[in-house]
Amino acid sequence: MEYKTCSKCGIEKPLKDYYISIRDGIFAHCKECNKKRSREYFFENHEERLKINKEYYETYKELYPDRVKKTKENWRKNNKKYMQDYKKNYRHTEHGKIVLKKSKEKRSRNKGFVPLFENPFPNEIEVDYHHINNLLVIPLPKVTHKGNLGKNHIEKCNKWIQKLYCLDVNKLIR
């Protein structure tokens, strides 16, 4: 068995512990020293490499939008189970909870409807807006509003409005 001395660590090692170079035949540094040098380079230049990779991807995306789109579609198709699990677990993460809360707030915002009055409930109570007609909405606690979905939804919500606000919705609509 032939041996060679590593020019980096100075230890004599068998040739199988060296990478083969197409140009020279065998590398001057052993595999262990090469890996150590690669690792050091990676950590020292990590931010710069990320920037270069991002620039490359952006350029590639502009040059080959069809390829990028097809690749993403294939990935989604081949990883459906992973995506389902990810989405299922994501809402339990800290970031997922924040995003979910923001999306709920966005959905509950006024979407061209006119609230009859401002939300009178404390911030701890989640609120839904009940439509009393095509234009007007009234804030109701989510617990009372969501629990009343069904055949008698309007009647039950009107009773809650009567209890909470002392308003007769039928008279308001007329």
C-alpha to C-alpha distance for 130 and 125, rounded to whole angstroms? 15
In terms of DSSP bridges, do strands 136-141 and 114-115 run parallel, antiparallel, or are they unpaired?
A: parallel
- What crossing angle do the helices spanning 80-90 and 65-78 adopt, rounded to 10°? 80
Band of pLDDT at residue 130, cut at 50, 70 and 90: confident
- Poorest-pLDDT segment among 2-6, 32-36, 85-89, 128-132: 128-132
What is residue 109's predicted lDDT score, i.e. its pLDDT?
60
| Long-range CB contact pairs, 134-143, < 8 A, 24+ | 136/172, 137/110, 137/113, 138/165, 138/167, 138/169, 139/115, 140/164
End-to-end CA distance of the chain: 101
* 145 has a pLDDT exceeding 80: no
Choose among 40, 43, 49: nearest CA to 8.
40
What is residue 11's predicted lDDT score, i.e. its pLDDT?
93
Task: Tell me if 137 sits within 8 A of 129, measured CB to CB.
Answer: yes
Q: Supply the DSSP symbol for 81.
A: H
- For the chain, give every domain's residue range: 3-44, 46-78, 112-173
Band of pLDDT at residue 127, cut at 50, 70 and 90: confident
44 or 173, which is more confident: 44
pLDDT tens track for 83-120: 889 888 888 889 888 888 887 776 666 566 777 888 88
pLDDT tens track for 22-42: 877 888 899 999 999 999 999
Task: Tell me if 68 sits within 8 A of 61, measured CB to CB.
Answer: yes
